Amino acid sequence: MKRWHDELPFAPNDTLTEQIFQEDTLFFDIETTGFSAAHTQLYLIGCAARKSDRLIVDQFFAESAGEEPYVLSAFLSELQKYKTVITFNGQTFDLPYLRAKYKMYHISNPFRALCSMDLCQTAKQLKSLLSLDRYNLKSLEQFLGICRDDLCSGGELINIYKEFLSHPTEESLFLLKQHNYEAVLNLPFLLPIFSYTKILGGSYSIHNVEGHEYKNAEGNTCKELFFSLKNEYPVPKRVSANNGPFFLFMKENHTTIRIPLYEGELKYFFEDYKNYYYLPEEDTVIHKSVGSFLDRSQRVQAIASNCYIKRFGLFIPQKSELIKPHFSSSRKDKITYFELTDSFTDSNDLMRSYIDHILASFNGTAQTSAT
């Protein structure tokens, strides 16, 4: 078995990387000849750890098919020094593959007591915000502006490794080493992707709230509301996205949310429609405790679709019934509204709850789990 060791200067320029990448944290990436642990070979594991201001990279390489257990053993010894492992697509591939390999060699699951983070899963949970064509490692590296010299894919390296086993050359050995080396070397520099997750999860403060008027395509005057937020963690790249009526823009330390407002008439629907009469001439309802005194010709039994009262005002949209009372055009509308009043804009708690509601619509739940 061949082992490569390298040390490089490491000075994170963002708080989030400093917080996540502790000295008890290990990044790793594996190279195999296929997806099935039972029918393929593990031939290389690369690791990246941190010691103060140094980035330590170790790689364990099987120079022959019979050296797979030595690679697993070397990695196991390294793994025991850490509390957290971070991978790219590890939850789906690396961890299940390694668990199966260790089981084959009658070694208990070494990841059981470790905390695990998967950068690929985190990126995929941000699909509505990042809008990348693909969510593989190289795509995310390109998005963050991380350079890579290696041009081979993992699939192409399978044939290179098989050729190496029968005809070892320095060129093929370099290609095998370099692909894994650059992958594991770059993993710590993907950590700023968590800044988006942090902000969507509530790591912000409200800086300002402003109302604006604008002309739409038909020339009508429309109103909108802007929330300006200060990000607790600066985002690495500027992004913008739409989700239903909400527009989100993130840049460095600031996030802006644009909300189109609706000015006009909307309806409040009562759930217990069986307890109401509908008044056709007035297009409204009245509770039976009061409506029973009306002439029968003036009232009919209310049904779900007409059990409402109408209100004219300025309304703000929401994707669920967060703030009540909630209004809509019809009972089946997915977007509901609540009335925009001073009691809302004067309450930091209400605005914070509403902003959290909007941000959550752009985000999944980042996974941190025991393995």
Spell out the domain ranges in the chain. 2-197, 262-339
CATH top-level class for 2-197?
alpha beta
Distance, CA of 172 to CA of 177 (rounded, Å) = 9
**Tokens at 213, concatenated:** 């008027």
Convert 236-260 into a string of H (helix), E (strand) and C (coil).
CCCEEEEECCEEEEEECCEEEEEEE
Residues in contact with 245: Cβ distance below 8 Å, sequence separation at least 6, in sequence order: 259, 260, 317, 335
Distance, CA of 230 to CA of 232 (rounded, Å) = 6
Q: Please tell me whether the overall predicted TM-score, pTM, comes out greater than 0.85 for this model.
A: yes
**Tokens at 129, concatenated:** 């915000």
**Tokens at 56, concatenated:** 């330590």
> Which helix or strand (DSSP H or E) is residue 200 part of?
helix 194-200
Distance, CA of 226 to CA of 208 (rounded, Å) = 8
Q: How confident is the prediction along the chain (371 residues), in pLDDT tens digits per residue?
A: 999 999 999 999 899 999 999 999 999 999 999 999 999 999 999 999 999 999 999 999 999 999 999 999 999 999 999 999 999 999 999 999 999 999 999 999 999 999 999 999 999 999 989 888 899 888 999 999 998 887 777 788 999 999 999 999 999 999 999 999 999 999 999 999 999 999 999 999 999 999 999 888 888 899 999 999 999 999 999 999 999 899 999 999 999 999 999 999 999 999 999 999 999 999 999 999 998 889 989 999 999 999 999 999 999 999 888 999 999 999 999 899 999 999 999 999 999 999 999 999 898 643 333 33
> Which helix or strand (DSSP H or E) is residue 123 part of?
helix 119-124
Q: Is the peptide bond before 9 cis (omega within 30 degrees of 0)?
A: no
Q: Are strands 204-215 and 115-118 parallel, antiparallel or unpaired?
A: unpaired
Listed in order, strand segments (DSSP E) in the chain are 2-9, 25-32, 42-51, 54-61, 84-87, 115-118, 204-215, 221-231, 239-243, 246-251, 254-260, 262-269, 276-279, 284-287, 300-301, 308-318, 336-339, 368-370
**Tokens at 171, concatenated:** 């060129």
Residues in contact with 174: Cβ distance below 8 Å, sequence separation at least 6, in sequence order: none
3-class state of residue 368 by DSSP: strand
